[in-house]
Amino acid sequence: MNYWTSSVSTFKNTNPSFRVFEIDSETMLPVKAHTYVFDIAKPEDGWKYDHEMTELYGMKDLSP
């Protein structure tokens, strides 16, 4: 299972972002994925929380 996000790089037409995953310690499966983005046009704002994947897509968890 892959969970893609943009990267912290200099690619054009996309803002840098990263994800923080919460993992179930018993099953070692992902439960939640929090996404943070950096708006290049507003660098003074810094990194901002964007969304959590299960809430955004109405899923109970991220298990395959």
pLDDT tens digit string along 5-61? 667 776 777 888 889 999 999 999 889 999 999 998 899 999 999 999 999 999 988
Predicted confidence at residue 11, as pLDDT, reads 73
Residue 60 exposed, middle or buried by CB count within 10 Å (0-12, 13-18, 19+): exposed
Q: Model confidence at 63, in pLDDT bands (50, 70, 90)?
A: confident
Predicted confidence at residue 1, as pLDDT, reads 56
Report the predicted TM-score, pTM, of the whole model to 2 decimal places: 0.79
The tally of CA atoms less than 13 A away on the side-chain side of residue 50 is 18
Alpha-carbon gap, residue 22 to 30, rounded angstroms: 6
